Chains A and B, each alone.
Chain A
Amino acid sequence: MKMANVFAKNLSSKQVMATDGTEIGILYNIVMDIRTGDLIDLIVKPDMSLDTSKYKVDEQYILLPFESVRAIKDYIVVDKNIARGLTPEPVEI
């Protein structure tokens, strides 16, 4: 499904949620590449109850790769495995 373009300021302080429904935190900022315009990481202020040990931590924030974003509307929904920098587990046939 194609997501519409969004204004960056509309995203500030949006709730970040995983695809399994767990709350991750509040969006604080986004890291971009100035030259190419690529969006690289979400900087998220983690929820108090979140175990941050599984994420890339930068001081009081956690960094989630932008590839993990599944949807942005009223919430920002991210794929937990990709957000933790893990590749999806290989499926055994």
Chain B
Amino acid sequence: MRADITSLFGLNIYTETGTYVGKVADLVLDVDERKVRGLAVSDINKDIFDVTSRGVILPYRWVITAGDIVLVRNVVNKFRKANKVVEED
């Protein structure tokens, strides 16, 4: 499915189990690979992200689909102990 990248801005992000994750603030583009690398997420759900920063970057490969909302794989518990998970990708 093709879409303009700006159509994703501001969409709410939920996991496949229905947990609110945050809002799409921006996209990270890999120009060499010609791919979207990640979603920059703002207004994050502080219950699942144990971080002090205002936002996080999720790898785009976690995205299942996007339309009126963005659906991602279950990220709950991935950020509990190791904040490093975000940096790994």
The interface residues of chain B lying within 8 Å CB-to-CB of A35 are 1, 65
Name B's interface SS: strand
Q: Mark B10-27, 1 if CB is under 8 A from A, else 0.
A: 000000000000000011
For the complex, is B40 an interface residue (Cβ under 8 Å from A)?
yes
* B4 near A6: Cβ-Cβ < 8 Å: no
Which residues of A sit under 8 angstroms from B63, Cβ to Cβ? 34, 37
Stretch at the interface among B28-36, B44-52, B79-87: B28-36
B53 CB within 8 Å of chain A: no
Count contacts between A and B, CB distance < 8 Å: 72
Binary contact readout A34-77 vs B (1 if CB under 8 angstroms, 0 otherwise): 11111110010000000000000000000000110100100000
A34, B2: Cα distance in complex, Å = 6
Chain A CB within 10 Å, residue with most, of B3, B31, B63? B31
Give the CA-CA distance A75 to B3 in the complex, in Å.
Answer: 24
Give me the interface of B with A, judged by CB distance under 8 Å.
1-6, 9, 26-32, 34-38, 40, 60-61, 63, 65-66
